[in-house]
Amino acid sequence: MKREMVAPCGMNCNLCSWCSTRASRAASAAGRGDGAASTERPVPQARQGEIDFCYQCGQFPCENLLLVEKRYVHAHNYSFVENLNFIRRRGMPTFLKREIMRYTCPSCGKLLTVHSDKCPHCRQRHNRKDRR
């Protein structure tokens, strides 16, 4: 799991079903501030290198982030704001360790995605609500 795959908005692109198949594009997008919360409205502070993560912004959590947050919490049981607060409090290495524990398939040992209840590798079904 790579640190550069965690977008400024708090999305762990290592666990994204779309990004995981296009890792180099996702890493590039995360570095530019094109994370999930900023796909429609780019985050200028992140693009210009002023901040690494949205929690460093005076407007955190902004309306744009909260819109994506609401959708992801409801549909995928995944919270950008929770991720960002965890990174702020505990640091990136601890966050990545937690993500590995939460998103490793108990059947095959490979990474799950936040977008599906099925492991993309072994196709075993795992409830996303059990990952919190």
At residue 127 the predicted structure's pLDDT band, cuts being 50, 70 and 90, is: confident
Model confidence pLDDT, tens digit, residues 33-66: 455 554 444 566 666 677 889 999 999 999 999 9
Cβ(13)–Cβ(26) under 8 Å? yes
**pLDDT at position 44, please?**
64
Instruction: Reply yes or no on whether the pLDDT at 12 is more than 80.
Output: yes
Length of the chain: 132
- Whether the model clears a pTM of 0.85, i.e. scores above it, the answer is no
Total of domains in the chain: 1
Instruction: Determine the structural domain holding residue 46 and report its residue range.
Output: 3-131
- Dihedral through CA 51, CA 31, CA 99, CA 21, nearest 10? 160
Q: What pLDDT, in 10s, does the model give residues 88-114?
A: 999 999 999 999 999 999 999 999 999
The encoded tokens of residue 19 equal 């990004």
Residue 79's CB: how many other CB atoms inside 10 A? 16
